[in-house]
Structure 1
Amino acid sequence: MAATLLFLVPVAVLGGLCWAAWGSVAAILSRAWRSPGSWVRFAVLGATGTLLVYGIGLFSGFAHEIDETCHRLGEEYDDAYRAERWREPGRWFPLHNRCNADYDLVPAYVNPSLVVLAAVAVGCAAVAVALAIAGRRRP
């Protein structure tokens, strides 16, 4: 089951990314701003980007032996710091997996990118819904 998910999730994300990117470029080139379908594709593009960045953050901070990973990167592993903040690596957001107080295995761009891309996805979805409702009201 887990192996199937590890295969299907990236395939679905890649498929969604290709579908949304192709449609978004076509919508931009044809200036189809008033079509709700264009905004749905923009929203899917934002949501797919959110999933990709989340995956990057999740797996960049994932290490079987965190102390060995920190030492391999030339950073000091602070066991007391990690013991004090033991819940931090398991949180869904914000993503963190720190070696010590000064070094995080999760890249600095991940958490702000998640917020921006999620906001883009929600905003585009809201525009798509508004355009669809406005299109139904026109005679």
Structure 2
Amino acid sequence: MGTWAAGPFDNDTAADWSGDLDDAAPEERPALVERALRTVLDEPDHLDSDLGVEAVAAAAVVVAHLPGAFPVDSPYAPDFLTAGARLDLPERLRPLAVRALDRVVADDSELAELWAEAGEPNEFLAEVARLRAALTAPV
């Protein structure tokens, strides 16, 4: 896992996913965000870290579209997002993103295990908690 920070876009897999999202036609992007979230929920077994990373990045995209959200300024985030462009995301993605984040930090998640093995699970858990709090806050 090429990771340089706990931010949702601060690793190789998330940066690649962000690039794929940028490369997609604007009308296809909401479906890619939803797919990343649903994939972790549909995984019945031990959750692969790459799937978890993509779900966290997708949840961050959803958070970036919430009213009053802070601008995304990570150089590894999707370019359209850092430029201030918005997607037409369905409301159903908010609760889906919450469930996906919960799955990513579950006991059977490789991503959570990797952060624990690195000795820095609190940074990762704090970032996931920040995203989750934004998603569950009243609008």
TM-score by length of 1: 0.29
Higher helix proportion (structure 1 or 2): 1
Larger Rg: 1
